[in-house]
Chains A and B, each alone.
Chain A
Amino acid sequence: ETGVTQTPRHLVMGMTNKKSLKCEQHLGHNAMYWYKQSAKKPLELMFVYNFKEQTENNSVPSRFSPECPNSSHLFLHLHTLQPEDSALYLCASSQWDGGTEAFFGQGTRLTVV
């Protein structure tokens, strides 16, 4: 238990579906992140939120749409995905003052068919 909870743990979706990934942190952190973990690639930072404001969008395709309604919750809305988007999507949180440890959730294993 890391204090960062992601749901669902597994998701299979068709290319025309719309789904959402959810992340919740109970650590009092003010920064939240989405990472994509694919086999044999570095963890790719997708989005950064600081105090609910998006501060980084790392050239992510628009078929991924993040939402951060408050400092404790983060969503990733998915629509018209491609098979190459299949990966493990990780949520993390930290304090914004920089350089401190990031706490990760267990991830959502996404398969696009």
Chain B
Amino acid sequence: AQSVSQHNHHVILSEAASLELGCNYSYGGTVNLFWYVQYPGQHLQLLLKYFSGDPLVKGIKGFEAEFIKSKFSFNLRKPSVQWSDTAEYFCAVYTGTASKLTFGTGTRLQVTL
């Protein structure tokens, strides 16, 4: 069965620092990849997604992610975080099995002023 690993459970950064959150998945076939964000008290919302084509995808709010097939990874990056980026970030993988998304455990990002 597919699985998703997010190795960073809690990350604390100062404003303007660079961010990279790791995401690895286990599945040998074609995948669609997603990053979702959950701001405090709000619903999960899509940050960015990769289906095919350019492995470097750009999302909202200056986030980007790179799909590296050989490493089964889809890491999320942002060059300069803001206090408003404080949230929980979830990586998810879709493999076409029963049309379901498999999520990682999430990474809580705390940005300090």
With both beta carbons as reference points, the residue of chain A lying nearest to B4 in the complex is identified as: A42
**Do A99 and B94 touch (CB < 8 A)?**
yes
Residues of B within 8 A of A99 (CB): 32, 51, 94, 96
Range, interface on chain B: 20 to 34
Judged by a CB distance under 8 angstroms, whether A48 is at the interface is yes
* Chain B neighbourhood of A106, CB < 8 A: 42-43
Question: CA of A105 to CA of B96 in the docked complex: distance in angstroms?
Answer: 22
**Is B44 in the interface zone, CB < 8 Å from A?**
yes
Q: List the A side residues contacting B112 at CB < 8 Å.
A: none
Contact of A107 among B43, B103, B105 (CB under 8 A): B43
Q: How far is the CA of A86 from the CA of B102 in the complex (A)?
A: 21
A91 CB, min distance to chain B CBs, angstroms: 10
Q: With A40-B9, A42-B4, A43-B90 given, can you name 11 additional A-B contacts, CB distance below 8 Å? A: A4-B43, A31-B99, A41-B105, A42-B104, A42-B106, A45-B100, A48-B100, A50-B99, A55-B99, A96-B99, A107-B43
What are 5 A-B interface contacts by the 8 Å CB criterion?
A40-B105, A41-B105, A45-B100, A94-B99, A98-B96
